[in-house]
Amino acid sequence: MTRTRRPVVAGWFTDDSEEENFRLLGTRCAACASVFFPREDSWCRNPGCPGGGELVETPLSRRGRVWSFTDGRYRPPAPYVSDPNAPWEPYTLVAVELEAEAMVVLGQAAPGVRTADLAIGMEVEVVPGVLNEDDAHIWTTWHWRPAPVHARVREERS
């Protein structure tokens, strides 16, 4: 049986795009420019908003800087999905400051990224990842990983 790739939450990131086009998806209020992630599709939550603005889907910045980070040395409870019979593999969590959106977004780090690989203020980029798999689905998510130096240089030159 072939398994279907499905985002763990619909509409939070570009589905099945190439790594270089992968983005988190938020919404932006057309009246006050506030950005929301996870996306807010019902109403703008800025109490100072003049109102009447549409909430328009907007891709978030691909790169940001580490606000803080940690890891999970113990298996989290459900609804986190993990195999209770397999030894627990700690994952790393990264909170990332996005400059253009002026917000912090939490996410798991890409597999293999340990807390020792991270520092506050370090540049990271968002990449597509897999959260878990079951018989029918490969559940996709977003991961943060240290931005490669050559990408940073290219960015600075452009």
Partner 1 sequence: MNDIAVLGAGMHPWGKWGRSFVEYGTAAARAALADAGLSWRDVGSVVGADTVRCGYPGYVAGATFAQALGWQGARVTSVYAACASGAQAVGAARAQILAGLADVVLVVGADSAPKGFFAPAGGERPDDPDWLRFRVLGATNPAYFALYARRRMALHGDTVDDFAQVKVKNAAAGALNPLARYRTAVSAEEVAASAVVADPLRLLDICATSDGGAALVLSSMEFARRHGHPDPVRIRAVSTVTPTYPKAVLDLPDIATDSAVAASPAPHGFRASIARAAYEEAGLGPEDLSLAEVYDLSTALELEWYEDIGLCGAGEGAKLVREGVTALGGRVPVNTSGGLASFGEAVPAQAIAQLCELTWQLRGTAGSRQVPGARAGITANQGLFGHGSAVVAVR
Sites of contact with partner 1 (CB under 8 A): 8-9, 29, 32-38, 45-49, 67-74, 76-82, 91, 93, 95, 101-108, 115, 119-121, 131, 141
The alpha carbon dihedral of 91, 144, 103, 25 has a sign of negative
Residue positions counted in the chain: 158
Backbone angles phi, psi at 128, to 5 degrees: -70, 150
91 binding partner (options partner 1, Zn ion, none; Cβ < 5 to 8 Å by kind): partner 1
Q: Is the peptide bond prior to 146 cis by the omega test (within 30 degrees of 0)?
A: no
Residue placing its CB nearer to partner 1 in the complex, 5 or 80? 80
Q: Which helix (H) or strand (E) holds 144?
A: strand 137-146
β-pairing, 25-29 vs 55-59, is antiparallel
144 binding partner (options Zn ion, partner 1, none; Cβ < 5 to 8 Å by kind): none
Residue placing its CB nearer to partner 1 in the complex, 9 or 153? 9
130 binding partner (options Zn ion, partner 1, none; Cβ < 5 to 8 Å by kind): none
Using rule CB under 5 A, residue 49 touches Zn ion: yes
Binding mask 11-30 for Zn ion (x = CB under 5 A): ------------------x-
Among 24, 35, 44, 124, binds Zn ion (CB under 5 A): 44
Q: Which helix (H) or strand (E) holds 12?
A: none
Residue placing its CB nearer to Zn ion in the complex, 30 or 106? 30
- E strand residue ranges, 2-122: 4-7, 25-29, 35-36, 55-59, 63-72, 91-98, 103-109
